[in-house]
Structure 1
Amino acid sequence: MKSSLLHKILVLGLCLSVGACAFKKEDAEDKQRQELADVVTQQLDEKKEKIAFEGTLTKENVSVRFDENETPGSYNMVIEWPDAVGMMEVTLNGRVIGSFKEKSFSISTPHSQKYQIVLRAYATLQEGGGFLSSIGIEKEAHKDFILDGIYNLSKAELFKVNRAYLRKGSKIVTNGHNLEINTNKLYVEASDLIGNEYDRAQIATFPFDRKSINPNELSPGRISIIANQAFGDLMISMIGVTGYDAKLITETPAWKRFMQLPSKATKGSSGADGILTVPPECEQLPFNAKEVCKKLSVCLENPKDGNPGAQGANGLNGVNGNPGGNTGDLVIDIKNDSEFNASVYRKAGLGGMGSSGTPGQLGGDGGDPGKNPENRCKNAAQGPRGADGAHGKDGTRGPRGAYGQITTNIKLDKTDN
């Protein structure tokens, strides 16, 4: 009878292993078969565990995991070992925590905490309670990113974390650097003030009033948000900086050349001198009388007015302002966004102001009048002053920046300005 029962168990065990049997609970015989199958299954499980353990702790039969707590930055470390262990001594970072009969141990831990775990296994009291084996394991708790306040990037940043928390009113300013948040879960805390944008958690490329201080800011990098799940309401501001103003014309090489010109343009040339003539009757007079007559010479041609001065050189045109900054690119990839909303505001940067043009060169002085010999002719006038050079045109404002590319798999509330 015993041999027959053992035979049935072996047959049922073989049947279970190849998956060729189905147990039905329609009669007593089927019930007996089910009970036998349960016995076989239990024996196989016990044998499997015994083979897996065999008195030696391994990474295959010992597990360490970190379960999430509701508190940001907090986890529960859980260590599990085979049921066959009678007593387990747990040491964390060189400190013996205790010995445990249970088949697991748990402890609350902060995120990113590193552990050197030493486990020493002892047999059950029925088996003598002797030392079996030990194992050393190094583990690190999952990392969280928790932002409460303003965080300014000074370089590209990658936050590859298990959970990311953005508190209400918190803000990440990328300052044109690449930012990637790659997380399992993204939590954005709700604002207490309805309609108050300043109390919302926000990611921004630059402050709204930022004026460019170097060319690298004109092409800000990419903001990437990648998550399996996201919760809350996030504001993303893609702000292009205002372009930097043009150089003052006085800082250019053209100004140096302009300053080498004299303060005034060339003076006009002098007018022709007046001309006297001797009356013809003087030639018919005796010698002495002739000389006296010549001194009574008359004006033949009046002196000429001076010629106009030269026109001054035109002033230098101002330099045009530089282009405004682009908004940068945005990538959002969230697998489950059923409890998440993102608002995107984009403002391309205004162009920088142009510099002013310069006044033209002063016109040249008028030429001197022609000389009036013996003051017997009509006096001539000084020539007119030349026209001043035209004032240079002011430089124009630079062009606005461009809108970057948005790549997303979720619906966005987008506003462009």
Structure 2
Amino acid sequence: MKRAWIKLVLTLTLIAGLVSPVQAGFGPSLVFDANTGEVLVADRAGVPWYPASLTKLMTAYVTFKAIRNGQISLNQKLLVSKNASRRPPSKIGIRAGRSVTVDFALKAILVHSANDMAVVLAENIGGSVAGFADRMNREARRLGMTGSRFVNPHGLHDKRQVTTARDMGILATTILLEFPQYKKYFNAPNIRVGKRRLKNRNKLMRRVKWIDGMKTGYLCASGFNLVASARVNGRRLISISLGARSGAGRDEYSKILLEWGANGASRSSLRLARIRNVGGTPKNIATQVCKKRQRVLWGKQQELVGWGVSLGEYKSAYTADAVLQGRALISRQFLSTAKIGVFRSIQPRRYVAMLSQMQQAESLTLCNYLRRRNAFCEVLTPQTFAAYLSARAVSKPTGKKPRPRQNFNRHPVADNR
């Protein structure tokens, strides 16, 4: 009876997508096969989160349906209202009273994440922002997005506007399958506005050739979000990463999970629609994201005992953090006692992703597991940790944790990407 109860609890936890790594520093995440719905990686995929500009995926979907139903056309001119022109960044900045085409507005919201153009679409298709939000919610209910609610078309912060990784996965899949002819809007490298050429905010597409589109999102309250699609090894994969503390970390984390889904993940019987949304209020992570606190999971030197592993040395602490937590997520079955953290390397301006307090057998098993899946992993002995601590003591550290540089002025509280 006891075994049956334990098995039931584990099954329900998996269905809810609530299994977490050793120490969770990123928000919910999900990777699945868009054609079959097979879930390859799921971490808290049913937990509510603020969507930020991922909202614009639903704005685009409602617009695509309006085009298909004959309500509007791509070449149709739409009036820019005062309400639309007054939206805060990100925006195109077209003055009230002028017109734009539906085609331009779609490019603007999906390439540059323009909040003003999202309102232009909403007012002209739904009659008002509230009317358009009603359409968004009707579509969400029809698609089974039970954990999502929309009150605006752009994603600027509103406590009532929520979603889940599961629901964003359903929406992304629906868009790709129902409207393949509009894929160009999600992978366009830039949008031309007069003499300006605005680059796609999805930088991961420029770094990784096999990642071919979808949408970024950013708010202080939500952190850095990303829905990414990829065609790799003959499979159409979609990843959802929510709540990263930096854009660089979000991109690296998404890349790791997609690579894992393509090359290393075991076959799964879990399907996207079976993940349960758990309800509740989203976590507000503005303190960590915009007040520069706990942006990286720094390790503690006193934890460097026993056996461990290194997952590599990196120029950016954000990259090291993403590698550390991404690898921890996909190999969590080996990490029952491990401590994870980012440490400053002996080399200047280098950061190491390390796990410690492991048994020798655990560290060897983990590295064998990761190496078979083309991931770097080096076993660290107790003597290696002792040598590292000795070298750090000789270098006379100041006691302050290194803080990676980033221009936070580029991401004001009102900005929504």
TM above 0.5, yes or no, is no
Structure with more helix by fraction: 2
- TM-score bucket of the superposed structures, by smaller chain: under 0.3
TM-score, with structure 1 as normaliser: 0.17
Structure with a larger share of its residues in strand: 1
What TM-score do you get using the length of structure 2 for normalisation? 0.17
